[in-house]
Amino acid sequence: MRRHETPEGKSVRLLRVGEQVRHALSEILMRGEVHDAVLASHPVSVTEVRMSPDLRHATAFVKPLLGHDEETVLKALRTNTAYLQRAVAGRVNTKYAAKLKFLADESFDEGSHIDALLRDPKVARDLEQNRE
C-alpha cells in the first residue's frame, strides 16, 4: 500500500478534495446562489463527491429533500453546471476547475429496500431460526 492511501485504496488527497467540493456545492445550493426556480424551491443534499485521479472530473451524488422531483432537480443542476463549476472553482483551490457531473444518490433507496426486506416476516423468521 502506498503511503498516502486509505485501506480502501483511495488516496487521501482525492477524498480531501472531494469533501471540499461537496462542501462548496452544498454551501452554494444552501445559500440559493444559483438563480433557478427549481433549485430555489427544492432543498438538495450533496451526499458525496468522487474525484477522478487527475482531479479534473467530479461526480456529485445528490438527493432532493424527501426525494421529491428527483429528475427535475437533476435536470436543473445539469442546466446550471457551468455556473456551479465556476462557483466551486472559486472556493476550492486546485490547479484545474473540475468538470461536474450530477447523479442521483441511490444509496438511500438501497438502504430502505434492505430495511424493508429485513422487516419481512419470512426473513425475520429465517433470521430467528439461524440464531438458534
- Given a contact cutoff of 8 angstroms between Cβ atoms, the answer to whether 84 and 94 are in contact is no
Alpha-carbon torsion, ordered 94, 100, 106, 111, to 10 deg: 10
pLDDT at residue 1 greater than cutoff 50: no
The arithmetic mean of pLDDT across residues 89-105, rounded, is 91
pLDDT at residue 3 greater than cutoff 80: no
pTM beyond 0.85: the answer is: no
Lowest average pLDDT, out of 14-18, 22-26, 62-66, 69-73, goes to: 62-66
Nearest CA-CA partner of 67 in 34, 35, 104, 101: 104
pLDDT tens-place string over residues 7-53 = 555 688 899 999 999 999 999 999 999 999 999 999 999 999 999 99
Kindly list the domain boundaries of the chain, sorted by start residue: 12-105
C-alpha cell at 15: 477524498
* Of 46 and 124, more confident: 46
Chain-centre distance for alpha carbon 109: 14
Architecture of domain 12-105: 2-Layer Sandwich (3.30)
- Given a contact cutoff of 8 angstroms between Cβ atoms, the answer to whether 13 and 4 are in contact is yes
